[in-house]
Structure 1
Amino acid sequence: MGADSLIKKIPHSQVIKLEDMVAVDANQVSSMTLVQRPSIGMTLFSLGEGEGIKMHTSPGDAMVQILSGIAEIIIGEEKHLVHGGETIILPANIPHALHAIKSFQMLLIVVKPDKQ
């Protein structure tokens, strides 16, 4: 991984399991930012069982790829159970929250509008 790498903190040019990059700790939310730019962010998260991320909004669409475990994801008034291997899009500017039904790991990719 060179100094000019755009995706940080994970090995390049080799096969990896993203689940191995962010450990699940009981009673804790952990994260590792891979990319943080004005129009895109990529972050690995792990949430211990029972943990959550409270209701909030984002100015961009967020793609959540659940890597392991089970998350309850609330988008507006709708609840969704999302299992390891499944993906859901959280639309921009719609309130959303996450709760760990079973400890889970996820890759979050947020794509924001270009500044005009």
Structure 2
Amino acid sequence: MFVVKAEEAERIENPYGADVRVLLKRENVKVMLVTLNPGEALERHTTPVDAFIYIIKGKALVEVGEESEEAKKDVLVFLPKNTPHAVRNAGSLPLKFLVIKLG
């Protein structure tokens, strides 16, 4: 059995200063837990693989390409590879979401 406690998971450095924890890292999938405090964001960037975000708590403004959408708890957003995207905390409480990278 493989069990990871989020508060004990490896924290990785990132250019945004966000709290990013690696929950699972395998050859073809990576799962991370991201916490953004009010006012924080993962600024526009691209990834070379398809990814998804799944909102656990809070309110996010998600940009994918030229589109933007507000996303709350229990919403999944697909992030196609090589497409600029950003995630901003759009609320007054911490935003928590999973990032699942494929490939």
Q: What RMSD, in angstroms, separates the aligned Cα atoms of the two structures?
A: 1.7
Which residue of the other structure, out of 96, 108, 116, is the alignment partner of 2:99?
108
Task: Classify the secondary structure of the residue corresponding to 2:4.
Answer: coil
Equivalent-residue separation in structure 1 for 2:86 and 2:74 (angstroms): 19
TM-score (norm 2): 0.80
1:40 alignment partner in structure 2: 29
CA deviation string 1:59-88 (max 9, x = no partner): 111111100100101101111111011111
TM-score (norm 1): 0.72
Which residue of the other structure, out of 85, 92, 95, is the alignment partner of 2:81?
92
2:65 alignment partner in structure 1: 76
1:17 alignment partner in structure 2: none
1:62 aligned onto 2:51: yes
Cα displacement (A) at 1:104: 0.7
Equivalent-residue separation in structure 2 for 1:40 and 1:64 (angstroms): 13
CA deviation string 1:19-77 (max 9, x = no partner): xx35xxxxx62121012234211001110011001111111111111001001011011
Cα displacement (A) at 1:97: 0.7
Q: Which runs of 4+ in 1 moved over 6 A?
A: none
1:9 alignment partner in structure 2: 4
Larger radius of gyration: 1
- Name structure 2 gaps, 5 residues minimum: 8-16
Task: Classify the secondary structure of the residue corresponding to 2:90.
Answer: strand
Equivalent-residue separation in structure 2 for 1:39 and 1:58 (angstroms): 14
Equivalent-residue separation in structure 2 for 1:63 and 1:72 (angstroms): 14
